[in-house]
Structure 1
Amino acid sequence: MRATVWHGKRDVRVENVPDPVIQEPTDAIIRVTSSGLCGSDLHLYEVLTPFMTPGDILGHEPIGIVEETGSQVPGLSPGDRVVVPFQIACGSCAMCAEGLQTQCETTQVREHGTGARLFGYTKLYGAVPGAQAEYLRVPQAHYGPIKVPRGPADDRFVYLSDVLPTAWQAVRYAGVRPGSSVAVLGLGPIGTMACRIARHLGAAQVIGIDHVPDRLGRVHGEGVETFDLDAFDQEKELLAAVGDVTDGRGPDAVIDAVGTEAHGSPAGRLAQQAAGLMPPRWAEKLMQRAGVDRMSALHLAIALVRRGGTLSISGVYGGMTDPMPMLTLFDKQLQIRMGQANVRRWADDILPLLTDDDPLGVDTFATHHLPLDQAPSGYELFQKKADGALKVLFRP
């Protein structure tokens, strides 16, 4: 089969690889019909390369058709159409029972002290072959895959794999409620969808902050107040501008949808680039013991949110020695919630919205549909934010 394969920093290729096969009675094989390109994939493309191995298959946002099932997958049959969550969870352990599928005790990667295994990610999360491919082996298929109707285009349901539950959890963790205010830092796929969900759930004021004109224009056209980072010479000017539209207090909640590759953190960027130039084993040890993130987005979120407010972090961070402004966090009495999205926890809330009315605009959310063989150019396009790229879907 054809698959998108990692070979090094900014080096992904579409190659022929062996077809996946059933290995466990709880496995299924699906034929992928669409697979998304995620901001988390860009971390592998640029920052988290020390934890990758040449030959790793990328991708974790698939929709497709069941081809084959193991003997212990009673709920699926060949021909079923399914969305596969990006994390692999068993559905029966104590963590899954609490709706924390990203902490699944059956699939935790204990040798690295991390949570549930993820498709198409680093060895820290199991290095499970990913979904930017023609076929995908799905472990724990008795629980993970979400059956969806045949008929509508893939765009209607594919975002159940990651984008929708990640944005939904970000908004829920932010405590958004009717009449509240929320600012979203970073208007990529997750940030843009979080703005839509916040408005859908009744937020009186949604503020979007970014520095990419296309992304600012898109959410502004959807009723979001926007602020361009590049329009302010100093952070205090942006804080004052947001304060002016929030009664001088700041928003009730701030969602950091940026993460480790934040714009405007030269020291963090240099540290990440230096690690990327080292031999892989040295770089891996350095990042595990002294890794740092570019923290400008999180520091801005802390400064923006009102006293007694809530920070919701959906952007991926991987540093082990990140400095945190503890005095400010304590003095402002902030609540912080974060983590990978627990897809199955939120799926039942989201599915009723994937109707013909399309209140979240999923049918037109993707900006680019590319054949799988164009994955390398898709990665470059998305990383450079060129041609208005917000969401790229690959079609094998």
Structure 2
Amino acid sequence: MKAVTYQGIFNVKVKEVPEPIIKNAEDIIVKVTHASICGSDLHSYHGMVPSLEENYVLGHEAIGIVEETGREVSRLKKGDKVVLPFNIACGKCIYCQNQLESQCANVNNEGEIGACYGCSRLFGDYFGSQAEYVRVPFANFSPYKIPENNEIPDEQLVLLTDAIPSAFWGVQNGGVKKGDTVIVLGCGPIGLIAQKLAWINGAKRVIAVDRLDYRLEHSKIWNKTECFNFEKNEELPSLLLELTEGGADVVIDCVGMSGKMKPVEIVETALRLQGGALGAITFASQVIRKGGTVMLVGMYGSRYNTFPLGDFFTRNITLKMGIAPAIHSVPTLYRLLQTKQLDVSDIISHRLPLEEAEHAYSIFHKREENCLKIILQP
């Protein structure tokens, strides 16, 4: 089968690889119909994921048709159409039973963190879904069966795998409530959706911060946000404190370690002494009000130098973070799309065949062609 494979820093190739097979009784094989590229995939593309080996199949956002089932699969059958949330989880451990399936105890032999597709041995060693077929473990828990009367376009259903649940996690776990002022850092797909969900949760004011004008313009037009480019105003934290009369109630960081790195961060990241940029956290510490909440949704690496711990501690800031537990939220989010309370049609900027994945990764990395979300079709 054809699949998108990692070949080194800034190098992916669509290659022929062996088709996946059933390994365990609760496995299914899914024929992928639509996949997409996540900002986290760029961490692999940038060489920032430890233990990622050559020819590893990438990707963790896909929908498709069940092709084959293991003997103990009871929830699905051949021909069912499914959403594949990026978390891989058993559904039985204490974490899965408490809606924290991103930390499942039974899916990763490499450490104590959970697992997802296409992210190397570090995240459980499961080949990714930017491919013609993918093996899906624990099929009695993880996949979401798309209702037969579904009217939501397939390309929007793909966003239920990660982008929408991660944005939802940011807004819900960040505690956004009626009357709040919310600052969202980053206007990529997750940031844009977080802005939409902040309004749905009752925010009275949503402010977007990014460094790319086309993304800010998109946010302003589609999400009715107040937009600011941090590269064009060195005094932006002070300005936002003034405009919000003391800071935001909630700051949602949708940037993570892929933010703009300082020269020293580039060197330290290359030496594995730091896990990418820290700028978004520093910015968040400067624009949150006393007693507010900073929610980190963007992916971060290991240790970080000059972490602004004192700024959070002395001002009674609540700092929340983590990998979104997507699986349990998909039914709720499906209904938001179905009832049109949430519209994500504007997020999808490119539709390309799987064979053009190399070009897709390049324009996503370079932020060319006003790229937001790329859908790949095998």
Q: TM-score, normalised by structure 2?
A: 0.96
CA deviation vs aligned residue, 1:189-247 (integer Å, no higher than 9, x gap): 11111001111111111000001111100111121111111221x2xx2022212321x
**Contact 1:90 / 1:143 at 8 angstroms: preserved in 2?**
yes
Aligned 1:233-248 pairs, distance under 5 A: 234=234, 237-246=235-244, 248=245
**Contact 1:56 / 1:127 at 8 angstroms: preserved in 2?**
no
Picking from 360, 370, 381, the partner of 2:363 is 381
Aligned 1:37-76 pairs, distance under 5 A: 37-76=37-76
**1:158 Cα deviation (Å)?**
1.3
Provide the rounded CA distance (Å) in 1 between the counterparts of 2:9 and 2:49.
6
Provide the rounded CA distance (Å) in 1 between the counterparts of 2:3 and 2:156.
23
**Contact 1:33 / 1:65 at 8 angstroms: preserved in 2?**
yes
The number of residue pairs the alignment matches comes to 375
In the TM superposition, structure 1's runs of 4+ consecutive aligned residues that sit over 6 Å from their partners are: none
**Contact 1:155 / 1:362 at 8 angstroms: preserved in 2?**
no
Corresponding letter in the other structure for 1:141: A
Provide the rounded CA distance (Å) in 1 between the counterparts of 2:312 and 2:48.
28
Provide the rounded CA distance (Å) in 1 between the counterparts of 2:115 and 2:226.
37
- Aligned partner of 1:362 in structure 2 is 344
Corresponding letter in the other structure for 1:361: D
- Aligned partner of 2:302 in structure 1 is 319
Aligned 1:52-131 pairs, distance under 5 A: 52-107=52-107, 109-111=108-110, 113-131=111-129
SS at match of 1:252: strand
**1:50 Cα deviation (Å)?**
4.0
CA deviation vs aligned residue, 1:22-62 (integer Å, no higher than 9, x gap): 11110000100000100000000004254210010000001
CA deviation vs aligned residue, 1:102-139 (integer Å, no higher than 9, x gap): 111111x243x231221000221122110000001001
Q: TM-score, normalised by structure 1?
A: 0.92
Aligned 1:165-180 pairs, distance under 5 A: 165-180=165-180
Aligned 1:188-337 pairs, distance under 5 A: 188-221=188-221, 222-232=223-233, 234=234, 237-246=235-244, 248-272=245-269, 274-275=270-271, 287=272, 290-337=273-320
Provide the rounded CA distance (Å) in 2 between the counterparts of 1:50 and 1:93.
27
Provide the rounded CA distance (Å) in 1 between the counterparts of 2:127 and 2:310.
43
Which sections of structure 1, spanning at least 5 residues, go unmatched? 276-286
* CA RMSD across the alignment: 1.4
- Aligned partner of 2:15 in structure 1 is 15
Provide the rounded CA distance (Å) in 1 between the counterparts of 2:91 and 2:275.
34
**Contact 2:87 / 2:101 at 8 angstroms: preserved in 1?**
yes
**1:339 Cα deviation (Å)?**
0.7
**1:157 Cα deviation (Å)?**
1.4
**Contact 2:275 / 2:303 at 8 angstroms: preserved in 1?**
yes
Which sections of structure 2, spanning at least 5 residues, go unmatched? none
What is the aligned-residue identity percentage? 37
Cα 1:307–1:95 shift into 2, 3 Å: same
